[in-house]
Amino acid sequence: MTETPGGNAHDTDADRRTREWAVAADGARWSLADAFDAPGTYMEGNSLGPVSDAAAEAVEALLAEWRELGVAGWSESDWFDYGERLGSRVAPMVGAREDEVVLANSTTVNLHTLVGTFLRESSGSKVLVNELDFPSDHYAVRARLRERGLDPEADLVQVASRDGRTIDAADVAAALDAHPEVGVVLMPSVLYRSGQLLDVAAIAEAAHEHDAVVGFDCAHSVGVVPHELADHGVDFAVWCSYKYLNGGPGAVAGLYVHRRHHGTMPSLSGWWGHEKATQFEMNERFTPAADAGAWQIGTPPLLAMAPLRGVLDLLDERGVTVADLRERSLALTDYLFELADARLPETEVATPRAPAERGGHVALAHPEAYGVSEALAERDVVVDYRPPDVVRLCPGPTHVGFADCWDAVDAIREVLDTGAHEAYGEPGGGVT
Ligand SMILES: Cc1ncc(COP(=O)(O)O)c(C=O)c1O
């Protein structure tokens, strides 16, 4: 189903850098080309993926069931184990067994319950993270450390970055050597700013050699980078469904827990994580479900889950796997590298180039990145700014084409040529 990129082997570099080439490349069949509706030139799939008819229809179908069945939907439809069902469908994308994945809660809540669980279970008292992590991860870890009477200033150990953009797996191993009290390692699969893909297998191995539990924040990789979480022995993982999975704003998140930990008491227990067969006995004591479903907490918000179901149906219908999405993503990010090198010498590509070291987005560094991103927004090119100096361009492989990449780079060229970015002041707040 994937036939990217287009063009042919005789195309010269100059050919590839024309919009005509990009349009022709998009002419090659991509089976999801008509499936998503995104505003403008939408390079934000790593922040919020776009809507699809498939997602909207799945919501409509759920609303119709609600209309028809009311509360009986919990027993007469498949609502009761909605999170487990979705989990078993996402499991192959992350290389997990069906009972190791559930869709539940938000990513941050999942960090709280999983870090809390494994900090309690672990013999160590420190958590190893890195200084380039998404802030919510550190907020959650600090809260869990405080909860256990530990001191976040001393017990949150951070791997430093050598270049301010990437994390070296050797430095993770060195930090483990230097801090034998580390009981939990929490690392991102892909760094949210630079887009570096970390070596999940190597970090998991190093953590286990030091008797630490290892978890990954896969928010920036699920749906665009295939994983082998179970084979690599990763203990737990969390991710968002609203990025590459296109599950909609605030979509319910995903979590993975390796089978060897099933049956462990979750740190945030709630009745939806109870053993299913006896959940409605309303027992006084909590019996955790025998699978990853135990880390659910309360009633699943189905309206924030149905869009993902629609998207997964769409991927199945069109025969698109995460390997296909990765292949297309690499072709699109390669094209962005090529265009940026040729046309944007004022910017620095801040994303590692090797396929094994990059996720699904390209970070371009420029001292006035904020102004550039604002000027692009005025031109309907949707990117985002991440302090201090990065514009992130995400060619989400489900919906972005080669011509979109060309248009985004061309718009940046025009902004820099005209100085349009200089009209913006300092970065303010707000979500982009
Ligand atoms: C890497 C990473 N971790 C965690 C989060 C937080 O996710 P949520 O706000 O859905 O809890 C995000 C959100 O963008 C993220 O990018």
- The dotted CATH code for 13-30+321-422 is 3.90.1150.10
| 329 CA → ligand 1 middle, Å | 21
357 pLDDT above the threshold of 70 = yes
Question: Which phi and psi (to 5°) does residue 193 adopt?
Answer: -90, -60
Residue of 159, 234, 233, 232 whose CA lies nearest to 196: 159
pLDDT category at 12 given cuts 50, 70, 90 is confident
pLDDT category at 11 given cuts 50, 70, 90 is confident
pLDDT category at 432 given cuts 50, 70, 90 is very low
Q: Which atom of ligand 1 is nearest to the CA of 47?
A: 14
Each domain of the chain, given as residue ranges in start order, spans 13-30+321-422, 57-313
How many residues belong to the chain? Answer: 432
**CB 217 near ligand 1, within 6 Å:** yes
Q: Is the sign of the CA dihedral 36, 37, 41, 43 positive or negative? A: negative
Mean pLDDT of 178-194: 98
Q: Which atom of ligand 1 is nearest to the CA of 250?
A: 10
CA gap 168, 170 in Å, rounded: 5
Q: Exposed, middle or buried, 419 (CB in 10 Å: 0-12/13-18/19+)?
A: exposed
- Are 114 and 238 in contact by the 8 Å Cβ rule? The answer is yes
For the record, the structure tokens of 41 come out as: 């030139």
DSSP letter for 185, please: E
426 pLDDT above the threshold of 90 = no
| 106 CA → ligand 1 middle, Å | 8
pLDDT category at 1 given cuts 50, 70, 90 is very low
| 170 CA → ligand 1 middle, Å | 26
For the record, the structure tokens of 71 come out as: 């509360």
The beta-strand segments (E) located in 12-119 are 36-37, 41-42, 51-52, 101-103
For the record, the structure tokens of 231 come out as: 């084979």
Helix, strand, coil proportions of the chain in percent (round to 5)?
A: 45, 15, 40
Q: Which atom of ligand 1 is nearest to the CA of 107?
A: 11
pLDDT category at 29 given cuts 50, 70, 90 is confident
Q: Exposed, middle or buried, 393 (CB in 10 Å: 0-12/13-18/19+)?
A: buried
**CB 134 near ligand 1, within 6 Å:** yes
Could you tell me which residues come within 8 angstroms of residue 51 by beta carbon, excluding any fewer than 6 positions away?
A: 36, 37, 38, 246, 248, 307
Question: What is the residue-wise DSSP string for 355-379?
Answer: GGGB-S-EEEE-TTHHHHHHHHHHT
CA gap 313, 247 in Å, rounded: 12
Q: pLDDT, tens digit, for every residue of 323-340? A: 999 999 999 999 999 999
Q: Which of 192, 243, 384 to mutate to test the pocket of ligand 1 (most atoms within 8 A of CB)?
A: 192
| 410 CA → ligand 1 middle, Å | 30
Given this model, what pLDDT does residue 425 score? 78
Q: Which of 47, 132, 134, 252 to mutate to test the pocket of ligand 1 (most atoms within 8 A of CB)?
A: 134
For the record, the structure tokens of 404 come out as: 């979109």
**CB 240 near ligand 1, within 6 Å:** yes
- Are 359 and 195 in contact by the 8 Å Cβ rule? The answer is yes
312 pLDDT above the threshold of 60 = yes
CA gap 117, 8 in Å, rounded: 53
Q: pLDDT, tens digit, for every residue of 370-379? A: 999 999 999 9
2 pLDDT above the threshold of 50 = no
What number of CA atoms fall less than 13 Å from residue 110's CA on the CB side? Answer: 29
Which residue carries 């200033």 as its tokens? 153
Q: pLDDT, tens digit, for every residue of 126-179? A: 999 999 999 999 999 999 999 999 999 999 999 999 999 999 999 999 999 999
CA–CA distances in Å: residue 206 to residues 162, 202, 212, 228: 19, 6, 9, 16
Options 3.40.50.720, 3.40.640.10, 3.30.1330.30, 3.30.70.270; CATH of 57-313: 3.40.640.10
**CB 187 near ligand 1, within 6 Å:** no
Residue of 234, 233, 238, 236 whose CA lies nearest to 222: 238
CA gap 13, 38 in Å, rounded: 29
The beta-strand segments (E) located in 57-116 are 101-103
Which positions are catalytic?
134, 217, 242-243, 392
431 pLDDT above the threshold of 70 = no
395 pLDDT above the threshold of 60 = yes
pLDDT category at 369 given cuts 50, 70, 90 is very high
Which residue carries 């993982």 as its tokens? 237
CA gap 411, 414 in Å, rounded: 5
**CB 106 near ligand 1, within 6 Å:** yes
Q: pLDDT, tens digit, for every residue of 55-74? A: 999 999 999 999 999 999 99
Question: What is the residue-wise DSSP string for 250-262?
Answer: T---EEEE-GGGT
7 pLDDT above the threshold of 90 = no
pLDDT category at 31 given cuts 50, 70, 90 is confident
**CB 107 near ligand 1, within 6 Å:** yes
- Are 195 and 361 in contact by the 8 Å Cβ rule? The answer is yes
DSSP letter for 5, please: S
CA gap 361, 380 in Å, rounded: 19
Mean pLDDT of 357-367: 98
Pairing of strands 362-365, 348-349: antiparallel
**CB 136 near ligand 1, within 6 Å:** yes
Residue of 216, 264, 257 whose CA lies nearest to 240: 216
**CB 191 near ligand 1, within 6 Å:** no
